[in-house]
Amino acid sequence: MPITDKVKAAMVVRGKKNKDLAQYLGITDQSLSNKFNRGSFSAEDLIKIADFTGAALALEFNDGNKIAFSLDDIR
């Protein structure tokens, strides 16, 4: 599943609207639409989207170790 579909699915699961995400990210609705069309979400975008949807964003290794990302990781 492409990243765009996963972001859209997270939005649906949480009942969030694109316009609210655009506002949260500090971008226009058109800029968000462009990100969806191009699949061009940065790591910073994904961290913010996870926060916005109340989800966790993490690298999970086969041995069970995890490295979680949070807003504190954004410079």
CATH code, domain carrying 31: 1.10.260.40
Domain with 26 in it: 3-73
Phi (first) and psi of residue 41, to 5 degrees: -90, 130
Name the pLDDT band for 75 (thresholds 50, 70, 90).
Answer: confident
Q: What pLDDT digit, counting tens, does each position of 16-33 carry? A: 999 999 999 999 999 999
pLDDT at 4: 96
Distance between CA atoms of 6 and 23, rounded to whole angstroms?
Answer: 19
Number of domains in the chain: 1
Query: Between 29 and 1, where is the model more confident?
Result: 29
